[in-house]
Structure 1
């Protein structure tokens, strides 16, 4: 019996444990932190051996295969020891994919993954039997075990791609590449770029690679590192013969001389970046033979993703917008770009080596006040201090929202778009977004 050791007892870890046990592995789950009660109960109920708040080397280093949760970096000592012992380390999507013959759509990129994966799933589920997994919702492994969908849309992070060996989506989508998570890539942008392109690493000429042809980082990498799959670029500025492009206010998608046209006038999601997300999702749908009418209706009635430019409330003619999912500068760039009124901007958190320069034009143009919400706000003060009349700091979400309420006037926006990770003051970006929404509702 092969021994499967799982590092990390969260959603992907527990899902993999269940699938592994069902497929005849001897399974052991080990977590350096505390395993949440809801996951402990599942492990106990399924008689799967586990430990938390420690890693017992004796129980880990006798593994045949290790599934490592994406949050654990390679430089952790137990992971180094596993590698030194020549034990294969894989991610959940690598392990799980071997147990399904489903058509897999894999979506990655620095920004827009969750929105595009959710939108793609929203379109496909109108006509296909399809699951949504990866970096979102119920784990891929658990869905393969319990639901056995014929198709999957997977949102995939670079950390998940770092530990694939044979994983191959039939349709890969690469939305964009901007510097993010460089702390995990020895502060080398080229390492992060290579990591994103692993999504196409095992693709063949029968597979498809959908990507943003306006992204110079992607174009340059493709020139020097061609992929084997069929290319379907999308663009807002170029005319694309095979792929998608914007012609005035219409998205035109051509695949093998079969063209469909989508008006952008009624898209549910606003902003240029969302036209790109819609292009990517529609290209996938067109490839999978979804009817044009279905694609169009789905683009118009899609509700969007929580914590991503989410309209919370309108109070005294002021719009409160939750964009807590903006954990890097590029995401905040899109948020500020889509603001069409004077904006009170709540920003800050754990800075991953951010360069805020690309935001200057919007801050000068649209931002009337900045509220810094982080443990250390010095860099924000130094960067933006002389661009706005009002810049203040706080370490409490409730206070940040009260200050914003005092500053904002009728017609203004109050935007939470932190451009940073949330771990200094919050559990995660969801916690940060929920606290913002609660504070707004309590005004």
Structure 2
């Protein structure tokens, strides 16, 4: 006679608890995440639960329990056998956010290991792996053993996360994406931190963005997200800090995969746009402070070529040709200033959508991206411009894409008679 295992909880009871604003117990959350991962809890039931969480929130203890349960749903990595201290960085994403590219080799040039497990872009935010895959030969997928070898030999790895890390999060994120529950602080925080803690890094720096091009646009809500994630890392024994940064305008002068790699190389050569260099330096200082090197001269490592040397070794370790020319778009279209004055507005989100429509991003996970597509900016807010001067250039392999990209940025930029007030890029440190 066969028997069926009796489940300790009823999913409907848990839904009712959250629907009524109550708190789930630790055993309830542990069971929920396990049961959903193995398919016992149905998608429609988890959809109801996530909507209840979206509307009523979670206590700090609940968020911690959910994070730990998602970590326990899969494998974890452990870098304690490395001879180097490990420190990782995570950005909540934005428009033109290519900081991981110069940052990882910069920090690694100080003898620190940077195990950067990254993803691909979806929607208007570009993925780090998409950017690097514009380099001929570069491979995103490597084994855990090869990752350790590169960390020992080079110090920095940027690669795809394996499906074994926090599989519950992968399943839950896909559900949230189609049920309108993405922008929920408890669910965002547990999603990000379950993967980062499972990666096994000793320390973590978070770049949490607010503004037009950010995941969460409201500054106060972004700060709450940052503090929640810092608390989760601390509770799990990972030394964690966060920088709250402004994503009201695109970061740097390029939006798009190969375009952003080119700009990253300018930063690694000691140049590049001032805002990209500023944020790269700020995050590097934060990471190296957590790694026990608070006095590291990170700007010198950019200027004297040490960071660039590490970049070349990092790219070549994953099959890339660091000296190969980057792809360029077959077609370009320039937008010029209709009058003289000062560029006063350049809203991040519409420019991100414009680059996406040119082919730099994807609407579905399986969609291909154009390596060379995107937008190149020739001026930033505060810059003086003259009539007829190029403001930005659209890049794509398919000229039929220009019209919809121009529609996206219409009204997102403006020229005035006076320069706007300078904005602060890094507004707060949270620990």
Instruction: Work out whether the TM-score is over 0.5.
Output: no
- Calculate the TM-score normalised by the size of structure 2: 0.37
**Relative contact order, CA 8 A, sep 6+: which one is greater?**
2
- Calculate the TM-score normalised by the size of structure 1: 0.36
**Which structure's residues are more often strand, by fraction?**
1
**Which structure's residues are more often helix, by fraction?**
2
